[in-house]
Amino acid sequence: VSLNIPLLPSDVTLIAVSKKQSDAKIDQALAQGLRHFGENQIQEAIKHWKDRRQNYSDLTLHLIGPLQSNKTKEAVALFDVIHTIDRPKIAALLHQEMVKQQKHLPCFIQVNIGDEPQKSGIAISELNAFHAYCTQEIGLTIIGLMAIPPANEEATPYFQKLKFLADDLNLSELSMGMSDDYQHAIECGATHIRLGSMLFGDR
């Protein structure tokens, strides 16, 4: 069954979120030409991509889920882009690992854009200091901001806020927008959208 891939502006990167999907569907996405994939968990990502990497040299793998400090080695080894830098300890450990592996990955800072207590992401009030820490003190390559707006609310105001924060920090990349709201995200300036269920069907 072929996947339903939306037509997008050429400057928007479509990240196919392959978490919890079958091998058949992942192979179908590759057959249809998709090359950017997002995963939430390191172990599952290794299972999906370690071997496929050998056959597709032009893959770009994005880590879009929370990173634990004991998984930084595997994360740096497998992924090409990290979207979920959200606290000083993880930023420092990741950088150490990048130096060790001589693999300096582009990163996004994840922002807790709805200021929700249970959500990952750096608080908006701490963003500027955290960005300075990541770039100046540690030397991470921060290319943009990422966020997941609160569920069951209109997403557009949160996308606009993330765009404003990125502009303020002179960051060009914005990872925002999922199956239900990606069109709004693009209107607000998303450069990377992360689509799971609308491409692959339910998980």
Ligand X SMILES: *Cc1c(COP(=O)(O)O)cnc(C)c1O
195 binds ligand X (CB under 6 A): yes
Considering the complex, what minimum distance in angstroms separates the CB of residue 148 from ligand X? 6
Question: Given the structure tokens 């996308």, which residue do they identify?
Answer: 159
Report the DSSP beta bridge partners of residue 141. 106
For 35-66, the three-class secondary structure string (H helix, E strand, C coil) is CEEEECCHHHHHHHHCCHHHHCCCCEEEECCC
Q: How far is the CB of 110 from ligand X (least distance, A)?
A: 9
| Cα atoms found within 13 Å of the Cα of residue 98, Cβ hemisphere only | 19
Q: Is 179 in the site for ligand X (CB under 6 A)?
A: yes
The verdict on 196 binding ligand X (CB under 6 A) reads: yes
Only one of the segments 46-54, 121-129, 163-171, 189-197 lies at the binding site for ligand X (rule: CB under 6 A); that segment is: 189-197
Q: Confirm or reject binding of residue 178 to ligand X (CB under 6 A).
A: yes
Shorter beta-carbon distance to ligand X: residue 135 or 179: 179
Distance CA 133, CA 39 (A): 26
**Please, which residues bridge with residue 81 across strands?**
62
The two structure tokens encoding residue 16: 């196919």
- 194 counts as binding ligand X under rule CB under 6 A: yes
Specify the stretch interacting with ligand X by CB under 6 A; choose among 1-9, 24-32, 41-49, 194-202: 194-202
One residue of 26, 64, 82, 147 binding ligand X per CB under 6 A: 64
Q: How far is the CB of 20 from ligand X (least distance, A)?
A: 8
Only one residue has tokens 């599952």, namely: 44
Q: Supply the minimum distance, in Å, between the C-beta of residue 102 and ligand X.
A: 28
User: Is 84 or 138 the residue whose CB approaches ligand X more closely?
Assistant: 84
Nearest residue to 60 (alpha-carbon basis) of 34, 86, 25, 93: 34
CB of 142 to ligand X, least distance (A): 18
CA distance 38 to 56: 15
Residue 110's Cβ-side half-sphere holds a number of Cα atoms within 13 Å equal to 21
Chain positions 109 to 148 lying near ligand X, rule: CB under 6 A, are 148
Residue 45 lies near ligand X (rule: CB under 6 A): no
User: 155 and 185 in contact (C-beta within 8 Å)?
Assistant: yes
Which parts of this chain interact with ligand X (CB under 6 A)? 17, 19, 40, 64-65, 148, 178-179, 194-198
